Amino acid sequence: MKEHTLDEDLYFEILGSERKRVVVLLVLIGCSAIGWTVVRFSGILTTLIIKDFPVLYLNWILGAGLLYELAFFAVLSIFIKKRRHLPEPGRYANAFVESLYPTSVLIIVSEHINPVVALNSPGVFLYFIFIILSIFRLKRSLGIFTGFICAAQFLALNIYYLPPVSTASSMLEQYLSARGPVAAKSLMLLTAGIVAGVVGQEIFGRVRGALAMVYDKNKIIGMFGQYVSPAVVDRLIHQQPGMESEVRHVCIMFLDIRGFTSFSENKQPQEIINFLNTFFGHLIEIINRNHGIINKFLGDGFMAVFGAPLSDGRDIHNAVSAAHEIIHKINHLNHTGGIPRTRIGIGLHSGPAVTGSVGSEERKEYTIIGDVVNLASRVEQLNKKYGSTLLVTETVFAALAGQKAKKLRAVQVRGRKKSVVIYKLI
């Protein structure tokens, strides 16, 4: 599958904008066709203005324009769906063809009524509609091109159809036929095209900037999410200023691989990395599924937290469930030969902790701070003393209903004055 890049996606956003412009034109042309059909059969215009007004010819132009825009809409849809680039000259050719709509209308009207009236009628404002819609093209050169060809065609029509000023029958007709006012109107069309081009380019720049921000955000999530839980990434991205830290009740898990030093002594670095990737790959999935996050990798183990940055109210149960699943998974991998024979130790403790971003403006880290972390680490180390795999503190055991466990005698944990009651879960 072709990789989507910023410029690629931006290009098809532009084609999508072009298609919206075509939709607007289809609506305008369709409504005009219906309106002129009503006029033609009702006789309103011929009664009020002139009997020979070319309503039928106008409907032919509108019909041809409707078919052309439908065809162009279909082409744009195909190119967008297949993610193919529309040839750039085709966009300029399309702008030229569409500029012929108002020109054709003015030619037909000029052939049937006084050209001075026709070229100063509301039909002239059709050029401005196409110039305004060129903003949807999101390209400065196309906006300017549209304004230029509209101005050139309007000027050519005036030069061809308007009589010399000397032959004008009135002062008003002399003014309307004078080259000065005609040139001024043409210049206004060109100016409108320049303005439309500048506005379109400004919108393009803002769209590109917004899309670039989305790409940067997705890139950060993709890269950062390889190192911490997606839940942490999302929390950090949406974190409000002044809300960098908070006190939460969490359950901390420490896991350690037993005998890792001797295991890695005779192994190549790549072998060690491959083992850790395989080993942690299974465990990360279990932690995430049980609504926890791995906050830190510790070389031959990790620290996981349940209850931050998000909690479902069952943090201790989730932690114990994850611990049992991990033990079962390691036993299975050992039995099937999925990893070298491996033993682990897990310690759980629950309590209040300060959670949030810690660091400077240059670098911050989502971290968990508090006595709960230190005690969970000490409890995990006690597995070596008792030859156990999973130990929990009394606060964890108290939250478990019906969980079988063996109560161990109170132990003095390094760094704490009070002894701690430890349970070995069965």
Cβ–Cβ under 8 Å, residues 389 and 379: no
Quote the pLDDT of residue 1.
Answer: 37
> Are 198 and 252 in the same domain?
no
Quote the pLDDT of residue 364.
Answer: 63
Query: In the listed set 221, 255, 271, which residue is the last one of a domain according to the structure?
Result: 221
Residues 6+ apart with CB under 8 A from 336: none
In DSSP notation, 21-74 reads HHHHHHHHHHHHHHHHHHHHHH-HHHHHT-TT--HHHHHHHHHHHHHHHHHHHH
Cβ–Cβ under 8 Å, residues 108 and 61: yes
> Are 141 and 63 in the same domain?
yes
Quote the pLDDT of residue 264.
Answer: 75
Element (H, E) at 366: strand 364-369
Quote the pLDDT of residue 347.
Answer: 92
For the chain, the straight-line distance linking the first and the last C-alpha, in angstroms and rounded, comes to 49
Whether 226 is covered by a domain: the verdict is no
Whether 235 is covered by a domain: the verdict is no
Identify the segments of the chain with pLDDT beneath 70: 1-4, 39-53, 165-173, 175, 216-244, 357-366, 415
Whether 387 is covered by a domain: the verdict is yes
> Are 119 and 181 in the same domain?
yes
Give the residue from 167, 145, 41, 136 showing the smallest Cα distance to 93.
145
> Are 247 and 296 in the same domain?
yes
Cβ–Cβ under 8 Å, residues 410 and 421: yes
For residues 317 and 400, give the distance between their C-alpha atoms in angstroms, rounded to a whole number: 7
For the record, the structure tokens of 44 come out as 């309103």
CA distances for 354 relative to 4, 56, 245, angstroms: 40, 79, 7
CATH number at residue 315: 3.30.70.1230
> Are 97 and 202 in the same domain?
yes
